[in-house]
Amino acid sequence: MTRRELREHCFKMLFGTAFYPIEEADDQISHYLRRRTRTSSRRTAATA
């Protein structure tokens, strides 16, 4: 992961905190990371 991608993901997670109660933060981060993992798996499969 490049520094640019890392910054982008951090921003998206921090930006999301404005829309979800603190109690849901762990769930939202987990959901985001699962979705991101699936997307990167598809990219890897497409380039192989």
> What integer pLDDT is reported at residue 43 of this predicted model?
57
What pLDDT does residue 48 have?
55
What does the alpha-carbon distance between residue 7 and residue 34 come to, in Å, rounded to a whole number?
A: 18
The predicted pLDDT at position 35 comes to: 82
**pLDDT at position 3:** 92
Rg (CA), the chain: 13
Q: How far is Cα 10 from Cα 35, in angstroms, rounded to an integer?
A: 15
pLDDT in tens, 1-48: 789 988 888 888 788 777 778 888 788 888 888 887 776 655 556 655
